[in-house]
Amino acid sequence: MGAMALGAYLKDLREKRGLSMRDVERLSDISSGHLSMIEQEKVREPSPRILHSLAELYNVSYVALMKRAGYLPAGVAEGRPTRSMAFRGAERLSEGQRRRIQRLIELELLDAERRKRKK
């Protein structure tokens, strides 16, 4: 038997925590409708930002969710990815996609800096 599909896995995590879709919506920036589509496999590749929010909410590894979603190869260990892993396949991206990814990285860095200041 293979690994549980991402949507089913996320639904299982949510239900094990006793959360409704509306609870997730209230506790994160993810609409219940979008979460429903992810759980039903209608959205097969949720964005890394969505996966990060769910990883934090469900208290699971972000890297594990990224692997399950197919963004990272199965052999990637927890911890910091190497530059070659982070940009694997970048040559297939459009300029617009690269700019969006760069913006996401910038937002993550700003968030990390804010968290660091709060400690």
Give the HSE-up count for residue 39: Cα atoms under 13 Å, Cβ half-sphere: 17
Say what the pLDDT of residue 1 is.
41
DSSP string, 2-40: -PPPHHHHHHHHHHHTT--HHHHHHHSS--HHHHHHHHT
Distance CA 38, CA 109 (A): 26
Q: pLDDT-based confidence at 77, cuts 50/70/90? A: low
Q: Does domain 6-81 have CATH number 1.10.260.40?
A: yes
Q: Which two tokens stand for residue 91?
A: 């040559």
Residue 113 has pLDDT above 50, yes or no: yes
| Per-residue pLDDT reduced to its tens digit, 14-31 | 999 999 999 999 999 899
pTM, 2 dp: 0.64
Confidence of residue 88 (pLDDT cuts 50, 70, 90): low
The tokens 């991402």 sit on which residue?
A: 6
Radius of gyration of the chain (CA): 15
